[in-house]
Amino acid sequence: MRPTSAANRLRIAAAVLFLLPPAVMHSETARADVSGSGETPLAVPTFHCLGLYWSPTGGAADKEVAVRYRRQGAATWSEGLPMRYNPIPGTDEDLADYRGSIVHLVPATTYEIQLTLAGTQTTANLTATTWSEAFPVGETVRVSGGDVPLAITASGTPQAWRVYDGRGATIDVGHRHDHCLTIDAAYVIVRGLTLRGAGAAENARRSAIGAIRIEGGHDIVIEDCDVSDWGRLNPATGFGFNMDSAILSHSATLQRLIVQRCKLHHPTFDGSTWYEPKYPTHTMGPQCISLFNTAGNHVLRYNECYSDLEHMYNDTVGGGSNGSFRGSPGHDSDIYGNLVSHCWDDGLEVEGGNRNVRVWDNYISQSMMMIGNAATSIGPLYIWRNVCARSQWQPDHSGGYFLKMGFAGGEHWMTGHQYIFHNTLFRSDEWLPTGGLGGNRIVKHTVSRNNILHVRSPDGRCASEAPQNIDNDFDYDLFNGRVPPDHEAHGVRAEPVYAAGAGFDAASRTGQFQLAPDSPGAGAGQPIPNFSQACTGPAPDMGAHQRGAPPMRFGVAAGQP
């Protein structure tokens, strides 16, 4: 056994959580009742999800944990996706031998959860409550505009959040200061500010700046803000400084950051591609949101992160460290409902530990790699119901993949499980997607189901065939290119046919990506517990948009009634 067993670490983590007042988590802390010989489980909530952790006695690689859940007091149970045994050597960050998530839950709702170790009488029952979207408000501070940075250092309390109301106000520091706003506080809501001009022109230091820099604290909400014109010119390259961001944090203690309904757009300077004539190196340039090795449990939702071809990003949303047990965005975090575009590397960089990280319902375009997931060291990482279009590595060239896959800092970091469900690589008449699940990069511990993997040509790879691949299960996908031998036994080799009017409408930020009734892949998917919710027939459609469902919505209007 490792010096600190997963079971002991779970007991320690649960004990710490039980000491916190309920409002710290915006919810009631999980409670557990254990029968048999199992250890105490734990649930970590967000608005729509619960991350589950359990280390029962007798756990093993050939024994899954069955998951059932229901609203407290309801008569019937729903089935969750089973959890797989996966302790990670050399770290306490994995927290438990079995990890998994329940998704598509209702905010401010208490759920009963039952866990059962396969082939045994060991069960555990617990209750957990999702976060409420109604924060208890205390003092409201009216923020006026100006040309000097605002520093937020006064905290609220769990029962009375402090609101900084900047609706109608603009802070434009005119590139005389590196930041428009700094935050080092807890239980605060920053609302409605317009921020411009971050990044002092004379500052040539290589450390990144943020229009909003979070220096410390926890339980922070940034909502309805508009941030643009940030960043500095790197005189050595002629492009924007790498990682200069609209929102930036290197705080190792930052927990529960919520960024919602913000517009982050048009940095001051352009980012470089991988193939610049003078600087043929990794892309460099500004980003929208950058989080580095924080304490996790964040939510990034309903934001619009966009620009133009003259003001491109490195990654649109990302951070680091990629080859690590932490990384970005941090454990138990959700990224959903966002509009993401205009970068020369990863639209969404979701890399590092990825312990119960969930990415869904995003529209990603004009990026080289739509989602970067190199590597996932702890997992599980869930990527589902995203729509991707226009993979692009230079202004006039297609390239890149839907998922980056592979490793960062060494193949030994590729130890976490990944689930790829119901995503669509969407073809428009003028632009085809290029690569699927990692090109031919190394892929490990990955399950794919019900995806539309429509690549540029039949010679392209819909899924990696690298000889180092381990423990993958690709099946029930609609694909038109190459896949590894002995995979896709129930997959459909064909190109999708979409219903009339399919595509993304930039004006309304909505999309129609449903298959036509006679299309290959229609009704040919595999039902996935908790993930194929929109399916009303015997089998779901392949792809992100089930027939009969309303239009998909992205950006600031998403998630609204």
Q: Is the pLDDT of residue 345 over 60?
A: yes
Task: State whether 275 and 347 are in the same domain.
Answer: no
Task: State whether 552 and 441 are in the same domain.
Answer: yes
Where are the strands (E) in 312-380, listed by range? 317-320, 327-328, 334-336, 339-349, 351-352, 357-360, 363-372
Task: State whether 15 and 78 are in the same domain.
Answer: yes
Count Cα neighbours of 277 within 13 Å in the Cβ-side half-sphere.
0
If one compares 378 and 29, the residue with the highest pLDDT of the two is 378
Do residues 52 and 112 lie in contact, with contact meaning Cβ atoms separated by under 8 Å? no
446-504 pLDDT, tens digit per residue, is 999 999 999 988 999 999 999 999 999 999 999 999 999 999 999 999 999 999 999 99
Q: What are the φ/ψ torsions at residue 109 (nearest 5 degrees)?
A: -130, 135
Q: What is the pLDDT of residue 307?
A: 98
CB atoms within 10 A of CB 139: 12
| Among the ranges given (4-8, 140-144, 168-172, 423-427), the one the predictor scored with the smallest mean pLDDT | 4-8
Tell me the helices (H) and strands (E) count for the chain, helix number first. Answer: 1, 45
Task: State whether 531 and 405 are in the same domain.
Answer: yes
225-274 pLDDT, tens digit per residue, is 999 999 999 988 899 999 999 999 999 999 999 999 999 999 999 999 99
If one compares 393 and 376, the residue with the highest pLDDT of the two is 376
Task: State whether 81 and 178 are in the same domain.
Answer: no
Which token pair is 561?
Answer: 């009634």
- Count of structural domains within the chain: 3
Do residues 344 and 64 lie in contact, with contact meaning Cβ atoms separated by under 8 Å? no
Q: Could you list the residue range(s) of the whole structural domain that residue 55 is in?
A: 6-129
Residue ending a domain, choose from 297, 329, 359: 297
385-410 pLDDT, tens digit per residue, is 999 998 888 887 778 899 999 999 99
Task: State whether 373 and 498 are in the same domain.
Answer: yes
Cis peptide, bond prior to residue 329, ω within 30 of zero: yes
> pLDDT-derived band of residue 429, with 50, 70 and 90 as boundaries?
low
Pairing mode of beta strands 299-301, 351-352: unpaired
> Considering the domain boundaries, does residue 491 fall inside one?
yes
CA–CA distance from 534 to each of 50, 78, 416, 503 (Å)? 20, 14, 28, 20
Mean per-residue pLDDT, 435-444: 92
> Considering the domain boundaries, does residue 544 fall inside one?
yes
Location of structure tokens 């595999």? 526
| End-to-end Cα distance, the chain | 51
Q: What is the pLDDT of residue 9?
A: 52
Task: State whether 84 and 159 are in the same domain.
Answer: no
Q: Is the pLDDT of residue 349 over 70?
A: yes
> pLDDT-derived band of residue 19, with 50, 70 and 90 as boundaries?
very low
> Considering the domain boundaries, does residue 307 fall inside one?
no
Task: State whether 74 and 140 are in the same domain.
Answer: no
How far apart, in whole angstroms, are the C-alpha atoms of residue 86 and residue 61?
Answer: 7
Task: State whether 268 and 342 are in the same domain.
Answer: no
Task: State whether 219 and 325 are in the same domain.
Answer: no
Residue ending a domain, choose from 97, 113, 129: 129
Task: State whether 496 and 348 are in the same domain.
Answer: yes
> Considering the domain boundaries, does residue 304 fall inside one?
no
Task: State whether 75 and 151 are in the same domain.
Answer: no
Q: Is the pLDDT of residue 16 over 70?
A: no
| DSSP symbols for 446-472 | EEEES-EE--SSTTSBSB---TT-BS-
> pLDDT-derived band of residue 46, with 50, 70 and 90 as boundaries?
very high
